[in-house]
Structures are given as C-alpha cells and as structure tokens.
Amino acid sequence: MHQPSPSPGSPDFGTAYSSLDEMAVGISLKAQHVRELMSSRPALGFLEIHAENYMGAGGAPHARLDALQEYPLSIHGVGLSLASERPLDATHLARLRTLCERHPPTSVSEHLAWAGHSGHFYNDLLPVPLTDAMLARVSDNLMQLQDTLGRQVLIENPAHYLRFDARELGAELIPETHFLTRLVERSGCGLLIDVNNVFVSAHNIGIDPAAWLESIPGHAVGEIHLAGHGEDTREGLLIDNHGAPVCDEVWALYADFINRIGPRPTLIEWDTQVPALEVLLGQTARAQTLLHSTRAQQLARSGEEGDR
C-alpha cells in the first residue's frame, strides 16, 4: 500500500514516504536474471523496473513481474520528460497509472530532465537549465503526475556534462541542491539521490560532491541509487553508463551520506554490460554492510545520549 503525498501546509509536506524498509537493497530487474531469481530466490530488498518497458498490455514483461511478485517493486520512469516545454503526454500518464495499478509499487520515481521536443522523443535524459521558470514548470508537471497516480513521486538528480551560461540564458541559475529543495517544498515530492551521478557531475563540471550531498535535506530522501561509470578519455568526461562496479569513491560518498541522513533503501544499477547475478549480489552485500554499520552507529549514539 502506497503513502499519498501530504497536502500543502501539512508539517509532513516534502517528507519522503516509502513502504520499503530503510535497510532494503535492491537491483534492477533484467531478463537474463529472471530464471535464476525464480530458482534461487536471493534475499533482495526490492526489484526496480523502468516503467516504459512494461507499458504493453501483456506478454513476458508482465509474466516476469507476476512470477517475482514476492519482491517489493520500485517503478522508475525515464521518458515522461518532466522538464519539457510541451505538456505531459496524456497517453504516457495513463499507461503509467495502469502499470502502477496492475503491479502496485512501493515507490515511483522520475528524472529531473527532458527527453522530448516538438513531437520528437530522444532516447536520453537531457540537461535542464535550473531557473525560476524551470522550477515552476517542473513543479506543475510533477504535481500533475502525483495527482494522476495519487501518490508521492521521487525525483532523481541527473548526471551533468556541461555548464549552462546564465548570460546566454538571460536568467539567473539556481544551484542544483537549492533547486531540488525548492522543488520538494513546492510540489511535495521526495528525492532519489543518485550518488554516482553526483560523483560524475563533480568530475565533469567541477563541483564538490561531498558539499553537494551535505546540502540535500535528509528528510526528503526516499531512495538512493549507486552505479558504475565509464570514461571518455578524448573529452575528459566521466559517463554515467551503469556498466561497471560502483567505484571506491562513490562507496565513500554513500557511506558519509547515509551516516548523516540515516539508512535509506538503496539500488544497485547496472544496465549495460550486465554481469552475472552473483556480481550484482556482491554489490548489494557491500551496500548492506554499510547500511548495517550506519544503523549500529546510530544506535550507539542514541545509547550515549540516553546515558547523559
């Protein structure tokens, strides 16, 4: 059963809600792993799917979800284009609502990005100039999405490969963490923080990843994503390709982040050059170890405060 987003004015407005256990660690559901998941039933906190791959009326995709329905489900959208100038696609919204009704998820998420313009769809998550006008547009679209689904939606921070020029835009740019915080305050959404995207962006556009994460309001974070990345040596860029193990620097950022905000449901993303299931389970085990360490530290601090 999902939690509806609190009403504006409520003290809980902008607090992330999830029926996932805060210690849950999951993986993206891939067709090549389904048979092994069905036979071995590993201890996973949840499975994530990309919504657009499951918007058909039936067939193998839905059969996979039916066979694995014992696992909590996270539905992650990649094509709604919340930052586009065009209105949200009514057909896409209806299909997403139908998917959520057919396979009730524990959480629903989308990206702070755009993917379509003038009737054309681009198979990518394209960058957004973070201005007041964009904040109003994304907030309006996000509230429409949440009203359609009758639930809170988590918004993911994208990876960045370029900086916008405020002079060329003719508008003042809002720092990304401030933009996300104001988006939470205006729409009542939650946040999905992709730590690898923060690390990739830090390398590409010269931000401090630790300071970025420190600026995120912990109460708004409903889920965390971890992934690997590649490198474009010609351009000197890191690429968020979800095709490698999580690097040590991202693990360190993740550990510091959850130590500040507390444990959160965590997903290991691996979408290209997908390895054997046992490799993914090795990554989930490492995340689980860090979550348990954070929980132990919290309990120890609570005990020390209680003894004072």
| Within-domain flag for 274 | yes
Q: Give me the domain span that covers residue 255.
A: 25-306
Q: Which residues contact 3 (CB under 8 A, 6 or more apart)?
A: 17, 18, 19, 151, 152
Domain count, the chain: 1
Residue 294 lies in a domain: yes
- Domain CATH code at residue 31: 3.20.20.150
Task: Spell out the per-residue pLDDT of the chain, length 308, in tens.
Answer: 445 555 555 556 668 877 899 999 999 999 999 999 999 999 999 999 999 999 998 899 999 999 999 999 999 998 898 998 889 999 999 999 999 999 999 999 999 986 655 555 445 566 789 999 999 999 999 999 999 999 999 999 999 988 888 888 888 999 999 999 999 999 999 999 999 999 999 999 999 999 999 999 999 999 999 999 999 999 999 999 999 999 999 999 999 999 999 999 999 999 999 999 999 999 999 999 999 999 999 898 877 766 66
pLDDT for the residue 1: 40
Give the three-class secondary structure for 158.
Answer: coil
Contacts of 251 (CB under 8 A, 6+ apart): 226, 286, 290
Contact between residue 127 and residue 40 where contact means Cβ atoms under 8 Å apart: no
What burial class does residue 269 get, using C-beta atoms within 10 Å of its C-beta: 0-12 exposed, 13-18 middle, 19+ buried? buried
9 in a structural domain? no
Q: What pLDDT is stored for residue 4 in this prediction?
A: 52
3-state SS assignment for residue 50: strand
